[in-house]
Amino acid sequence: MNIYDFVVKTNQGKEKSLADYKGKVLLIVNTASQCGFTPQFKDLQGLYDKYREEGLEILGFPCNQFAGQEPGSDAEVQQFCRFNYGVTFPIFAKGDVRGDNAQPLFQYLTREKGFQGFDKDHPLSEILTNALKEKFPEYLKGDSIKWNFTKFLVDRNGHVVERFEPTGSMERVEKEIVECLEKK
């Protein structure tokens, strides 16, 4: 099994096979428009602009599971991303990324690459950890997605090669993307 075995919903409600991305390097991200990490949309768009011609695709999957930080409709989410951050990479239909109702894609991704901890040097790591302990302690258990803007890097052959937590350095994300792009 690999990433190409999955079908997801576009923000217009149509089915899209991830097999359409064969041969591309993918960065799959769960997103939210009202989160402390929302400014990462700017960095993600910058990566997309810089590496799209070399074969990078970024796929955004909005989720409202984390403190209700993505309350809008699919159309509102799309409009927010384009208007506020100039996002041109695909933003798919809103859905769950953890728990019993998680999209099969995200069940697969978290099985392939488990939680390795938050980046201790990021200024929001301690705040996020404390908030999870206080309000969502069950989120800290296991390999499930802990918060918005968790990223999964997929190589050109459809294999999950890395997971980046929302507190991870975007420089490290870029370095890993470049390494995947260099492997043909």
35 is catalytic: yes
Alpha carbons 42 and 81: distance in angstroms, whole number: 9
The sign of the CA dihedral 81, 182, 176, 150 is: positive
The 3-state DSSP class for residue 96 equals coil
> How far does Cα 133 stand from its chain's mean position?
22
* H or E stretch at 179: helix 170-182
Q: Which of 35, 63, 81, 180 is catalytic?
A: 35
- In the structure encoding, which two tokens stand for residue 14, read together? 């149509």
- Residue 20, class by beta-carbon neighbours within 10 Å (0-12 exposed, 13-18 middle, 19+ buried)? exposed
- Looking at the DSSP bridge assignments, the partners of residue 154 are 26, 160
The 3-state DSSP class for residue 117 equals coil
Catalytic residues: 35
